[in-house]
Amino acid sequence: MPLTALDHTAPQGYITLILGFPFSSTGHDDTNAMNHVYERLRQAFRRWPFLAGYLVGNNKFSTTGLACSVDDGDVYVAWGLVVEGQNLRLSPDQFQWNFQDLLKHGCPPSAFEQELLCFIPKEDLRPVTLKISFINGGLLLGFAFHHGFMDGTAVAQFLEYFASTETQARVDDSSLSSMRSHRAAFTQTINSLAQTTDISAGAMPEYDFDLSRPVNQPSPTAPPAEGRILTLAAPTVRALHAQAVAHLRSYHNNPRLFVTIPDVLCGMAWVHVTRARLHRLDTTTTTRFATAVNIRRKVPGDIPGGYMGNMWVRVLTSASVRDLAISALDDDNSTTLARHLAVAALSTDAAAANSKSATSCYGAAALAPREVDQALRRAIDRAHTGLDASVWLGLGAGLAYGIPGTGPEGTPAFVRKPYSANDGAMNLMPRAGGSQGGADWEVLLALRADDMAALCALDEMGAWLCRPPTQGL
């Protein structure tokens, strides 16, 4: 099965998620839990047999297609090629935390090491892998989804089916043929759009660069970056959202103007990250915010909403440092903050809604697949001025997985990504209820240490947090 232009331009690594469940067990309980997880994985592969295939290409960073057959959904789980089945119960020497301590300390990002808790193949790269780990009082499921084949929407679909009780009596061979036909149709659509897409320096200046020049890197003398979880209580977020919407409607004299809570949280992070960097930025500097947009409803042609592949583009919005953050520096008034959040939120919402921007992005993907990632990274410049956000609200939280031993609800107590600290990267973490309900909101943010300290100050974003930022102990 060939990959599309958007598959080629997606990051060629794994989207990794760790789901944490309370679990009090004996050896027999461990076996029941493992059998349930294996069976749900088998059912998911029967539903989408191509996900049990393997990616082929020159190396792990250059895949050209997916090798699969209708038999794969039943074969590969048993072979252990997608499940890491060794050393399932971690000793305290391997993993120092017990489950209750993790919860007590806010599940700090640094506790979750990818090499320990996820299964990343060194060869025969699989679209989906899973590692099961038992710790004292808990069960951790470490999923890895290859971004060269799946995007966040596809991951959400997979997890919803994995958590369900739906079964397939046999491998769904029709899904393989329909996936091939949809990919062929999408490739034809992209190639057609590419014929009218102009990526010249005048039309799209972000593509005016020399491939031999390295992408902007942090200064070698800069403090190291660190990743922290910033937690905001639901009532606080609702109040900020209401203030931002009220300001927008009043300022633009439009009672129907609206931005979502994720828009406001992204805007809030953008404002405060920019303010935290003021000690090293000129006020005329341009700062950019980037986020991924699902384009399944924007693509011409018969592409189903349940398409299991990459169907997203990254879009950008920009503002000067002065316009975004500088005038609110000495004003703690919540109305002033609401104004700045509203401006940033409206900008991020406008970027996401801009179908013209999305069309040019996937047209450019067909014309210049090697350049797309570099062009975006250069334009965002997240280590210096930009913020690159991923909204993961729907990825796995709040689902009832029904794993024996995980309680009557069977829902995860937390969802984390393995620890990394890439300056200027942000994740709006999975949340029970998505944008609804009373659960806390969690923002995983990575910044260099001095910027993080400034951002977490009690007269900055720290004022809105309901618990101290968690990194590790």
- Give the HSE-up count for residue 248: Cα atoms under 13 Å, Cβ half-sphere: 23
In a domain, 414, yes or no: no
Residue that finishes a domain, picked among 130, 163, 188: 188
User: Between the CA of residue 378 and those of 149, 332, 365, 384, 417, what are the distances in Å?
Assistant: 24, 34, 16, 11, 25
Scanning the structure block, which residue is given the tokens 């009690």? 458
In a domain, 356, yes or no: yes
The alpha-helical segments, DSSP class H, found in 302-354 are: 321-324, 334-353
Q: How confident is the model at residue 338 (pLDDT cuts 50, 70, 90)?
A: low
Could you give the CA distance from residue 193 to residue 367 in angstroms, rounded to a whole number?
A: 10
Give the residue with greater pLDDT, 172 vs 427.
427
Rounded mean pLDDT, 127-152: 93
Residue that finishes a domain, picked among 141, 164, 188: 188
**Is residue 53 predicted with pLDDT exceeding 60?**
yes
The angle at the Cα of 203, spanning 198 to 206, to the nearest 5 degrees, equals 100
**pLDDT tens digits for 289-337?**
888 888 787 776 667 767 888 888 777 788 888 888 775 544 444 445 5
Residue that finishes a domain, picked among 166, 188, 210: 188
**Is residue 17 predicted with pLDDT exceeding 90?**
yes
Q: How confident is the model at residue 450 (pLDDT cuts 50, 70, 90)?
A: very high
- Give the HSE-up count for residue 329: Cα atoms under 13 Å, Cβ half-sphere: 13
Scanning the structure block, which residue is given the tokens 């007269």? 459
SS3 469: coil
In a domain, 470, yes or no: no
CATH assignment at residue 378: 3.30.559.10
Examine the domain organization and report whether 311 and 207 are in the same domain.
Answer: yes
Give the residue with greater pLDDT, 257 vs 134.
134
Examine the domain organization and report whether 303 and 346 are in the same domain.
Answer: yes
Examine the domain organization and report whether 32 and 110 are in the same domain.
Answer: yes
**pLDDT tens digits for 96-112?**
999 999 999 999 999 99
Rounded mean pLDDT, 33-58: 86
Q: How confident is the model at residue 454 (pLDDT cuts 50, 70, 90)?
A: very high
Task: Kindly state the percentage of the chain with pLDDT values over 90.
Answer: 34
In a domain, 401, yes or no: no
Among candidate residues 321, 319, 327, 326, the one with its CA nearest the CA of residue 344: 319
Q: Residue 463 has which token pair?
A: 């004022």
**pLDDT tens digits for 186-239?**
777 666 655 555 545 444 455 444 555 555 666 667 788 999 999 999 999 999
Examine the domain organization and report whether 65 and 204 are in the same domain.
Answer: no
Among candidate residues 207, 211, 190, the one with its CA nearest the CA of residue 198: 207
Residue 45 contacts residue 76 (beta carbons within 8 Å): yes
Examine the domain organization and report whether 117 and 239 are in the same domain.
Answer: no
Give the pLDDT of residue 309: 87
| Stretch among 57-66, 83-92, 401-410 having the lowest mean pLDDT | 57-66
Q: Residue 190 has which token pair?
A: 């992209």
Q: What are phi and psi of 89, to 5 degrees?
A: -100, 115
Q: What are phi and psi of 453, to 5 degrees?
A: -60, -40
What average pLDDT does the structure give for the chain? 80
In a domain, 145, yes or no: yes
Give the pLDDT of residue 62: 55
Examine the domain organization and report whether 266 and 227 are in the same domain.
Answer: yes
Could you give the CA distance from residue 218 to residue 385 in angstroms, rounded to a whole number?
A: 11
Q: Residue 46 has which token pair?
A: 């029967």
**pLDDT tens digits for 353-403?**
444 444 445 444 444 555 566 677 777 788 888 899 999 999 999 999 999
Among candidate residues 3, 306, 6, 50, the one with its CA nearest the CA of residue 177: 50
Could you give the CA distance from residue 424 to residue 316 in angstroms, rounded to a whole number?
A: 14
Give the pLDDT of residue 351: 46
- For the residues of 150-176, what is the DSSP string, one character each? --HHHHHHHHHHHHS----SS--HHHH
227 burial type by CB count under 10 A (0-12 exposed, 13-18 middle, 19+ buried)? buried
Examine the domain organization and report whether 237 and 93 are in the same domain.
Answer: no
Examine the domain organization and report whether 182 and 210 are in the same domain.
Answer: no
Examine the domain organization and report whether 102 and 179 are in the same domain.
Answer: yes
Q: H/E/C letters for each residue in 246-303?
A: HHHHHHCCCCCCCCCHHHHHHHHHHHHHHHHCHHHCCCCCEEEEEEEEECCCCCCCCC
The count of structural domains within the chain is 2
Domain hosting 325: range is: 200-396+420-464
**Is residue 468 predicted with pLDDT exceeding 50?**
yes
